Chains A and B, each alone.
Chain A
Amino acid sequence: MAGITLTQQASGQRQATSPWLNPKLVAGLVMVALVLVLTLIGLILWDVTLARAASSPLNLPPFWVPGGTMAHPLGTESSGRDLLALLIVGGPMTLQVGLIVGITSMVIGIVLGFAAGYLGGAVDAVIRTLSDTALTIPSLAILIVISAYVRQMDVTTMSLIVALLAWAGPTRVIRAQVLSMREQGYVRMARLTALPTPHIMFREMMPNLLPYLAASFIGSASGGILAAVGLEALGLGPQRIPTLGMTVSQAIQGSAILRGMWWWWGTPTIVLMVIFIGLFLVAIGLDEVVNPRLRGVRG
């Protein structure tokens, strides 16, 4: 299978053109890393308490517009929060959501997907029903219930709630992959030699799945961020310091467009765009890793 050759090529070989180094993948990773690094630098250099309400003067424009000041280089919004501080705090929060949702749904997806795909039968039926059920429940309903019980909603709690329902997709994807891989020659050989099931699953099949898993991870992370951004727009996200998504939605509710306060919604939008485009490029890049036939195709 193409996947096997691929992994053997990629791991530890000194190939001049490893498929993992294709420009799209690299560009995407660089973009995401850029956001991360810049925000980490910002955390050290800038005063992030300015992201709290009532900490700065209201409605200042960025410093290059008359009326702006270097004390708040990207301007402020109508609750007295500094935009630069918001971006510095919000960027990592967004990435954190992606990470938590991505990892959680991947871990659950791997465990359940392998179980369902490899073991089949009743196990498969149960897991499939569970995932179908999870698909139909709006995460909003769960979020509202939980927000009534937690003291203050924070990023981790919200991410876990999104992940709670996001695992259904990866589970199905991995299950489908496992199903087709199950019939491959090397797996049948492994079963014939009576190797223990976990060994087969993790030592034989998993390495070949890695590219798919990586692509799925990116997809979950991206989808998770999107879902969280939407939930934050409803005002149910982390309360004290809004994430990027909440900042944009507060900008809309505060009539920022009308008031000409383009920096309020514009700067978080740009950061979000960089993150999403980065993840998207990584996804395309991984797609090429997975499907060697795509590598030569122009465009």
Chain B
Amino acid sequence: MRGLSLGYVIRRVGMFFFTIWASATVMFFIPRLAPGDPVSAMVTRLTSQAGRVEGSAALITAWRQRFGLDDPLLVQYLRYLRGMLTFDFGYSLAQFPTEVGAMVGRAMPWTIGLLLISTVLTFLAGTLIGALMAWRRTPRLLRWFLPVSLTFTAIPFYILGIVLVYVFVFALGLFPVSGGYRNDLTPGFDFAFINSVIQHGTLPAMSIVLASMGFWALGMRGMMVTVAGEDYLTLARAKGLRPLDVLFRYEVRNAILPQVTALVLGLGGIVGGTVLVEYLFGYPGMGALLYQGITNSDFTVIQGIVFILILTTVTAVLIVDLIYPLLDPRITYERR
């Protein structure tokens, strides 16, 4: 394959596995560094409801034994590795006997559904705007309007959320949401559920486009401007190709490589960045689950989610590294 040598691919894939192992190991030890364990979280939550849990010491001892928390660390670590390799995430410790897989399975569609839609929409909108901003033949009106839209980018996103709520709900007192609001908030099964996920995602997706397309636009604009000076474009115009053709077939296509890179990486890192906002607004995704797991010291939940996170991020990086030479023939990993 041009640009890639077999040796490189093998080394790169080796690094891929090594990185996964390293990250997984770090995430095994970190939650265990803080004092406390999922059993004490369970018991404390019970006392907050029932005022007092009798026999808590005996309860804690019994559960710790059942979960193997008193086993030597090495044994627990090997058990963990085996579980990760077989994708058997086991039971949640703080909410036994719920399976981690079931919990993640319920949270995943929310995270993926919304973020996928929004990241793709943002990418499309931002790239288009950036391209238009750099194109010589963009109408003047657009040229003025576009930079203004980018100022939304600078605002922290959950703050943008508050501002929107205030404006649309409390100040203007109107917000048209198609479909009954109760339906939106009850995930039924199958079609109804997917329908509600989409409905949930449409509105915020629009806000997302507002808030984050700025960076995509800037990047695209930068690349477009760089490309604009290239000789082959002058030739294309001299040949008499239609301006739009020149825009899309030559300028955009050459400028889009770093954008695609960023897109792939963005999709890979989806899960990690959402913890904080999900918690604040009570959104039922993986981020909220991870936060809950961390505060409960629920080792298995943390391990399960972070493992998925590691896999997606590192895989995305690997894919980017490997396809780069394919997308841009000028790039090569071969030794000079």
> A residues within 8 Å of B by Cβ?
125, 128-129, 132-133, 135-138, 140-142, 144-145, 148-149, 226, 229-231, 233-234, 245, 248-249, 252, 257, 260, 262, 265, 269, 272-273, 276-277, 279-280, 284, 287, 291, 293-294, 297-299
Partner of B279, one of A137, A229, A233: A233
Interface residues as binary, B278-306 with A (CB distance below 8 Å gives 1, 0 otherwise): 01100000000011001100000010001
Could you list 8 A-B pairs, sorted by A, with CB under 8 Å?
A: A135-B313, A138-B275, A245-B156, A252-B162, A277-B154, A291-B225, A294-B222, A299-B144
- In the complex the two chains form, is A133's CB within 8 Å of B155's CB? no
Q: Contacts of B143 on A, CB cut-off 8 Å?
A: 298-299
**Closest Cβ neighbor of B321 among chain A residues:** A128
Q: Which of B91-99, B100-108, B145-153, B185-193 contacts A (4 or more CB under 8 A)?
A: B145-153
| Bound CA span A265–B160, Å | 11
Classify chain B's interface size: 35 or more
Q: Is B18 an interface residue (CB 8 A)?
A: yes
Say whether B163 contacts A144, CB under 8 Å.
no
Binds A, one of B20-28, B81-89, B113-121, B238-246: B20-28
B309 interface contact, C-beta 8 A: yes
Q: Nearest chain A CB to B287's CB is how many angstroms away?
A: 9
Contacts of B162 in A (CB 8 A): 248, 252, 257, 265, 269
Instruction: Judge if B210 is at the interface, Cβ distance under 8 Å.
Output: no
Total contacts A-B at CB 8 Å: 134
CB-CB under 8 A from A226, the residues of chain B are 156
Q: Which residues of A contact B225 (CB under 8 A)?
A: 291, 293-294, 297
Residues of chain B within 8 A (CB-CB) of A277 are: 151, 154-155
- Pairwise interchain contact A141-B294, C-beta atoms closer than 8 A: yes
B47 to chain A, nearest CB (A): 20
* Interface positions of B (Cβ within 8 A of A): 11, 15, 18-19, 22-23, 26-27, 30-31, 33-36, 133-134, 138, 143-144, 146-147, 151, 153-156, 158-159, 162-163, 165-166, 170, 214, 218, 221-222, 225-226, 228-229, 269, 272, 275-277, 279-280, 290-291, 294-295, 302, 306, 309-310, 313-314, 317
Q: Are A297 and B15 in contact (CB under 8 A)?
A: no
Contacts known (A234-B279, A257-B166); A279 close to B154, Cβ less than 8 A: yes
Known contacts A138-B306, A141-B30, A141-B31, A297 near B134 by CB under 8 Å: yes
The residue of chain A having its C-beta at the shortest distance from the C-beta of B307 within the complex is A136
Please measure, in the bound complex, the distance between the C-alpha atom of A284 and the C-alpha atom of B150, giving whole angstroms.
11
How far is the CB of A55 from the nearest CB of chain B, in Å? 25
A161 to B: closest C-beta gap in Å:
12
- Which residue of the partner chain, among A133, A145, A245, A298, contacts B34 with CB atoms under 8 Å? A145
B275: A residues at CB distance < 8 A: 138, 140, 230, 234
B156 touches A229 (CB 8 A): yes
A233 to B282, CA, bound (A): 13
Taking A141-B294, A272-B159 as contacts, is the C-beta distance between A132 and B314 under 8 angstroms? yes
- How far, in angstroms, from A153 to B31 measured CA to CA in the complex? 18
Please name the residue on chain A nearest to B140 by beta carbon. A298
Cα separation A273 to B314 with both chains bound (whole Å)? 33
**Chain A residues with CB under 8 A of B166:** 257, 262
| Chain A residues whose C-beta falls within 8 Å of the C-beta of B22 in the assembled complex | 129, 133
Residue of B155, B218, B272, B280 touching A138 (CB-CB under 8 A): B272
A299 touches B228 (CB 8 A): no
Whether B156 pairs with A129 at a CB distance below 8 angstroms is: no
Partner of A137, one of B23, B134, B165: B23
Nearest residue in B to A226 (C-beta to C-beta)?
A: B156
**Separation of A230 and B157 alpha carbons in the complex (Å):** 10
